[in-house]
């Protein structure tokens, strides 16, 4: 059994986002956490997304983990590889998008790939190589304050040029408007001029369809999940996919409901505020400075959650804070330690509370989700109902539970303002 698409995602929420769009495009998709250490059954699976935690780790580690994932996906016979990163191109001058892409291209012996971060339905578009979030340039969208990968430049050709020694090309909207043949010809001419990376404009789904058509035979494509929704139609046109399948149905959810939020993105801050407005006594705020002083705050959070869960009341534990508070904590503790304290606290709460009967868990934040999913020892995720674009419910088998755990991993900036309450209604 061989798969059509093998994807390597640089964080766990991003992986779920891509898997969700592949399912919506009609592929049968499995998400695995890290490179599987044991043989897994891929019967009736068209696409596998390997979720890594490689967005913010040291470059060498990101490259090594991505190459290991590539190797495993090639062993599964993947016809095309997809490197999934954030629709807001989250990275630093050191990487990891550039170095990982370079390493993957080299390992595949490929000469060129496209960079397509756009996810129009969630407001991420690219014009003349500049990334917009809604009507704001990336560097004015809130992403300039991201705790780990602040994005202070919207010009992606310039951003990527700082991450790779190779020249970076552009396929702009005017080219895409001429259709997929003209786009392919443009990519070819850029390749002849040594452009291994091509930032691609995309304003809407039609642009993504053109790009999918122009790139379906490339060994490697890279980008956000928007391209992932456009590719399955091209795989079908190539005769690689047998039939359109229904989006997956998960078994009924059970157990207590819990929201853990470590995301400080604008959308999450609004979702936290909305939850607290509905349930003024329903939230408990963690703070890295208190966490650094010992176990007291963590134990208080646990007691708070247990109490509310025992009365079936909604519960939110959050470290989400505005940029000033995040900066103050980072100034005192350092960026890495502040992040680690929060991730550790939330993931240990997840482990303890799942043992105590939580069966429906919503986690906000990519790094946060990575920490929580790893601590829970989850190895595979099945994709279910979409809550909002880019965020589906998933299910994971867990030794400590008879029924699978229902899990939603929300990217920081995804989801409507009432996401923390509506998600559980979708599941009911």
Ligand X SMILES: O=C(O)[C@@H](O)C(=O)COP(=O)(O)O
**What are the residues binding ligand X (CB under 6 A)?**
11, 13-14, 17, 86-88, 119, 224-225, 265, 365-366, 390, 411-413
Compose the 228-267 pattern: x for residues touching ligand ADP by CB under 6 A, - for all others.
----------------------------------xxxx--
Question: Of 14, 366, 384, 404, which lies in the binding site for ligand ADP, with binding defined by CB under 6 A?
Answer: 366
Binds 329, which of ligand ADP, ligand X, none (CB < 5 to 8 A, cut-off by type)? ligand ADP
* Residue-by-residue DSSP string for 48-93: EEEE---SSS-HHHHHHHHHHHHHHHHHTT-SEEEEE--TT---BT
Q: Which is nearer to ligand X, 88 or 222 (CB)?
A: 88
Place of tokens 């046109």: 237
SS3 of residue 231 by DSSP? helix
159 lies in the site for ligand ADP, by CB under 6 A = no
- Between the CA of residue 184 and those of 104, 110, 171, 214, 243, what are the distances in Å? 21, 16, 10, 5, 27
Question: Of 338, 405, 407, 408, which lies in the binding site for ligand ADP, with binding defined by CB under 6 A?
Answer: 338
For the chain, how many helices (H) and strands (E)?
A: 15, 18
Using CB under 6 A, count the residues that bind ligand ADP: 26
Binds 14, which of ligand X, ligand ADP, none (CB < 5 to 8 A, cut-off by type)? ligand X
* Residue-by-residue DSSP string for 314-372: --EEE----HHHHHHHHHHH-HHHHHHHHHHHHHHHHHHHHHTTEEEEEEESHHHHHHH
59: Cα within 13 Å, side-chain hemisphere: 15
Q: Please name which of 422, 416, 400 lies closest in space to residue 259, comparing C-alpha atoms.
A: 422
Q: Please name which of 251, 274, 252, 249 lies closest in space to residue 261, comparing C-alpha atoms.
A: 274
- Shortest approach of ligand X to residue 240 CB, angstroms? 24
Residues with Cβ < 8 Å from 103, sequence gap 6 or more?
Answer: 63, 66, 67
Contact criterion met (CB below 8 Å) for 314 and 320:
no
- Shortest approach of ligand ADP to residue 382 CB, angstroms? 22
Q: Which residue is nearest to ligand ADP (CB)?
A: 412
Q: Could you tell me which stretch among 127-135, 204-212, 215-223, 366-374 binds ligand ADP (CB under 6 A)?
A: 366-374
Contact criterion met (CB below 8 Å) for 56 and 377:
no
5-34: which residues touch ligand ADP (CB under 6 A)?
none
Binds 388, which of ligand X, ligand ADP, none (CB < 5 to 8 A, cut-off by type)? none
Q: Could you tell me which stretch among 240-248, 325-333, 374-382, 391-399 binds ligand ADP (CB under 6 A)?
A: 325-333
Compose the 269-298 pattern: x for residues touching ligand ADP by CB under 6 A, - for all others.
-------------------x----------
Binds 86, which of ligand X, ligand ADP, none (CB < 5 to 8 A, cut-off by type)? ligand X
Residues of this chain that interact with ligand ADP (CB under 6 A) are: 146-148, 262-265, 268, 288, 319-321, 325-326, 329-330, 338-339, 342-343, 365-368, 411-412
């Amino acid at each position: 059994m061989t798969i059509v698409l093998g994807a390597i995602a640089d964080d766990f929420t991003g992986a779920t986002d891509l898997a969700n769009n592949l399912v919506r495009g009609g592929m049968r998709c499995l998400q695995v956490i890290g490179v599987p250490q044991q043989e897994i059954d891929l019967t009736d699976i068209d696409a596998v997304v390997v979720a890594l935690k490689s967005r913010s780790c040291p470059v060498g580690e990101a490259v090594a983990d991505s190459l290991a994932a590539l190797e495993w996906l090639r062993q599964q016979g993947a016809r095309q590889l997809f490197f999934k990163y954030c629709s807001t191109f989250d990275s630093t001058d050191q990487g990891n998008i550039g170095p990982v892409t370079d390493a993957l291209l080299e390992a595949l012996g490929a000469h060129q790939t496209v960079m397509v971060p756009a996810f129009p339905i969630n407001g991420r578009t690219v014009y003349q190589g500049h990334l917009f979030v809604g009507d704001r340039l990336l560097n004015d969208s809130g992403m300039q304050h991201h705790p780990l990968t602040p994005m202070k430049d919207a010009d992606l050709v310039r951003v990527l040029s700082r991450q790779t020694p190779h020249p970076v090309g552009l396929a702009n909207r005017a080219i895409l408007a001429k259709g997929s043949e003209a786009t392919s010809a443009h990519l070819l001419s850029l390749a002849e001029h040594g452009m291994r990376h091509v930032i691609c404009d995309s304003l809407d789904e039609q642009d993504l369809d053109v790009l999918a058509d122009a790139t379906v035979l490339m060994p490697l494509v890279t980008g956000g999940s928007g391209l992932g929704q456009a590719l399955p139609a091209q795989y079908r046109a190539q005769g690689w996919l047998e039939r359109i399948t229904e989006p997956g149905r998960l078994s009924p959810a059970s157990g207590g409901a819990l929201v853990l939020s470590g995301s400080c993105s604008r959308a999450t801050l609004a979702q936290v505020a909305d939850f607290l407005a509905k349930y003024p006594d329903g939230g408990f705020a963690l703070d890295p400075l208190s966490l650094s002083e010992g176990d007291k705050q963590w134990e208080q959070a646990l007691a708070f959650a247990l109490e509310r869960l025992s009365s079936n009341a909604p519960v939110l534990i959050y470290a989400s804070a505005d940029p000033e508070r995040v900066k103050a904590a980072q100034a005192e503790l350092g960026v890495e330690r502040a992040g680690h304290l929060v991730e550790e606290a939330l993931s240990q709460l997840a482990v303890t509370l799942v043992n105590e009967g939580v069966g429906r868990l919503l986690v906000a934040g990519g790094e946060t989700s990575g920490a929580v999913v790893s601590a829970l020892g989850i190895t595979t995720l099945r994709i279910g109902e979409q809550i909002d674009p880019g965020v589906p419910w998933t299910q994971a088998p867990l030794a400590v539970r008879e029924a699978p755990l229902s899990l939603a991993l929300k990217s920081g900036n995804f989801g409507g303002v009432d996401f923390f309450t509506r998600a559980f209604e979708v599941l009911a």
